Structure 1
Amino acid sequence: MPNPRTLLAIPLAVALIGLTSASAPPAGKPATDATLPLLVTRGKAPAAALLAREAPWSTTEPGAPAAQPDRQAAQRPLWHFAHVNQPTVDDTTPPADINPTPDTDPESDIATHTNVVSKTATGSPSDARNTDSDSDADTETDNGAATRIRRTDHFRAGSITKTFIATVVLQLAAEHRLSLSDPVERHLPGLIRAKDSENDKSTKGLDGRTLTLRALLTHTSGLADYTSATKGLVPLTPSEAVRTALTLPTTAPGRWSYSNTNYVVLGMVIKQVTGRSYAAETARRIITPLRLSGTSFPGTRSTLPSPHGRAYTHQGRDVTALNPGVAGAAGELISTLTDLDRYYAALLAGRLLPAPQLRQMLNTRAAEGHYGMGLYPQKLPCGTTVWGHNGRIPGSYVRTAATRDGDRVLTFRVNTDEIADPALERTLLTAEFCS
């Protein structure tokens, strides 16, 4: 559940733009194959993986938009999967012990510190799954199963949940079941009210009678982030999360300030409007139509579906079992690399929202250019702007980015919640979208 502002502000280090010849990919290999190992060596992650998808949607693919004459003919998508992890560890070795600082420059020493498995397939997501066969495991005789990442693994997606929640709210707006100008009070009476006491500044200026759904979607509500009190470790009900936020100092309404509380409230609005939980409504509107078979809202279930690997905090503690109530509608989602690529491609291709609502989703004016509604842009050094979201929850960091038309998508993940060098994220996106 990170604040993307810091990621947007980090400059691309010159040393990371041009990889040395020792780390350059062989001819024909994607540029990301040279960059991915840096997430393990320099980023100190136990393991990392990516799945890239490139091609317009076939009319026979689940979630395919209507044919558009001005776009190129549909073709079979190209999927590229790569993963890397620290070698020579056993299943009981914590991440803190498997991330030594290399004696030499990590860029020139990648080959001796990591083992990259990279496969490309053309066709359907099932073809991509076939690239992650048992033969991959055979090539990793020195790698521990505790840190290995496979393409089919389920993992916690953190704040990527927000894109799903925003999509459902915008669908409801398109159906005229709510308006983005609606005050919170219209749907959740009495939930947010300003304090009357001049001595209590905590919620001064915040009132559900003037606070709109648009402000929640764009993080301009002024609501404090309840996870600043819980540190993302304490499971709370939605009402408890809001009450916790209301005890914290507010930010200025109308100014952009990333807050998980905003999307917890939106989850409550979805239930009030539809009569179904945000999880059930998202499954009905997005997960089932797109056949996102690896995506789910676990509620309070602490286990991950199979298959899955292990998840660690950046201090090395195993948090594979985790109560998702620490995040709720702001970050509860479990997914897979394939499902996230499929979802963002469908969303940006116009499959899930009518054109006016998709334009609203991508409009960043209210958030000072930082954020739309459940999506944010990132301009890369080559001038390309990608759209997507990141997600951080104990034991997992994920990032999905896509071109505006959804034709090209990349999702990468690490099985820990912090990348030691945050600039590596931009480096990896640059390798994918600027090559």
Structure 2
Amino acid sequence: MPLLRTLLAIPVSLTVLCLVSPALLGLSPTSSTSSSARTASSTSTAPATNALLSLLVTRGKAPAAALLAREDGGTRYARAGQGIARTDHFRAGSITKTFIATVVLQLAAERRLSLSDTVEQHLPGLVRGAGNDGRALTLRALLTHTSGLYDFAAASGGTVPVTPLQAVRIALTHPPAHSGGYAYSNTNYVLLGLVIKQVTGRSYAAETERRVIAPLGLTGTSFPGSRTSLPSPHGRAYAADGTDVTALDPRVAGAAGELVTTLADLDRFYAALLDGRLLPPRRLREMLDTRAAHGSYGMGLFPVKLPCGTVVWGHNGRISGSYVRSAATVGGHRVLTFRVNTTAIADPGLERRLLTAEFCPRT
């Protein structure tokens, strides 16, 4: 298609937006963190969690890694390697989706929209082509990744800064996947960003700032728009081949992955979300309902059941030069966010092991 060829000709930094399912690997921690700082009393989880954090560097091939754990008001910080500081700003990738889903569910609670509304009702005529039809797709299908819409980032390689309309048009050059099946697609959340603007008259960024970021005091969190630089303080970000990709045009992601934030802000956000401060009980239950996606995904959140039986909820985010993972228990009493300053973890099984070490403490 002419539009797709034009977009793919634009030179930009490599960006990958995707959901990564936790792998199940049985490796043993062998080293400890290079340094750590704590603002809460030591817990039994710290040594095992910190040892696994170091493996994100030695085995996961990240230049540096850091985590911030929060439990009942206390926090524990640790880092491994060089190049990350506790207060750094970084790109959060698809963690943006949890923020967007929260705003949509707030609007549903206010009866300004219904999750049963079709895409066509809010964005008439936009989703048509190659077998795709917005008249048959609901907002619920977008939220749960069951719309079947093609992922625009897969077509462009996640390398092209695009407007939301361009992203949708790229997706519509491809036929849909089986409707009702779970298929993770960034296009769903780009459309939800457009719905937010249509319903409220404000951009998804402005509405999320007003409804979530400002009320929670997330002073390190922002939507950069087209700004390629990170706010200070920040470290460097690296692609898998070691290329410095700190400067990045966030329009490769938009409502599907644009967010810039900090470790402390993500812990605060997920604690507030899971303890019910951002959504009424009915809407939070809907957010955690995974039946539409056959257990894989709720709405902007996905569950992981750990070996001890504990289920944690959260999201990950991968964008060029940054991989981030946040997880929390229902009620928000325990939260963990970790990040590495490269695009991916070479040994993805370490993620599940780190979550297990944090949320399944040894007795």
Q: What TM-score does the superposition give when structure 1 sets the normalisation length?
A: 0.76
Listed one character per residue, the Cα deviations across residues 285-304 of structure 1 (whole Å, up to 9, x for unaligned) are 00000000000000000000
Match of 2:71 in 1: 54
1:3 is aligned, of 6, 12, 19, to: 19
Listed one character per residue, the Cα deviations across residues 77-102 of structure 1 (whole Å, up to 9, x for unaligned) are 110000111xxxxxxxxxxxxxxxxx
Match of 2:166 in 1: 240
Give runs of aligned pairs for residues 31-430 of structure 1, distance below 5 A: 31-55=48-72, 77-85=73-81, 147-193=82-128, 195=129, 203-204=130-131, 206-430=132-356
Conserved? CA contact 2:67–2:78, under 8 Å = yes
Percent of matched pairs sharing the same residue: 69
> Which letter maps to 1:332?
E
Listed one character per residue, the Cα deviations across residues 205-238 of structure 1 (whole Å, up to 9, x for unaligned) are x211111000000000010000011111100000
**2: CA distance, partners of 1:46 / 1:427:** 19
**1: CA distance, partners of 2:321 / 2:24:** 26
**2: CA distance, partners of 1:400 / 1:219:** 20
How far is 1:23 from its partner?
Answer: 5.2
1:431 is aligned, of 348, 357, 360, to: 357
Contiguous gaps of at least 5 residues in structure 1: 56-76, 86-146, 196-202
Moved over 3 A (4+): 22-30
**1: CA distance, partners of 2:205 / 2:241:** 31
How far is 1:27 from its partner?
Answer: 9.1
SS at 2:324's partner residue? strand
Conserved? CA contact 2:167–2:187, under 8 Å = yes
Distance 1:27 1:188, change over 3 A: closer
How far is 1:280 from its partner?
Answer: 0.1
> Which letter maps to 2:53?
L
SS at 2:151's partner residue? coil
Match of 2:10 in 1: none
SS at 2:347's partner residue? coil
> Which letter maps to 1:186?
Q
> Which letter maps to 2:285?
R
Listed one character per residue, the Cα deviations across residues 299-332 of structure 1 (whole Å, up to 9, x for unaligned) are 0000000000000111111110000000000000
RMSD: 1.5
> Which letter maps to 2:58?
T
**1: CA distance, partners of 2:321 / 2:314:** 21
SS at 2:236's partner residue? coil
Conserved? CA contact 1:300–1:323, under 8 Å = yes
SS at 1:37's partner residue? helix
**1: CA distance, partners of 2:313 / 2:120:** 31
Contiguous gaps of at least 5 residues in structure 2: 1-16, 37-41
Conserved? CA contact 1:158–1:327, under 8 Å = yes
> Which letter maps to 1:294?
G
How far is 1:249 from its partner?
Answer: 3.5
Q: What TM-score does the superposition give when structure 2 sets the normalisation length?
A: 0.90
**1: CA distance, partners of 2:192 / 2:275:** 24
Match of 2:9 in 1: none
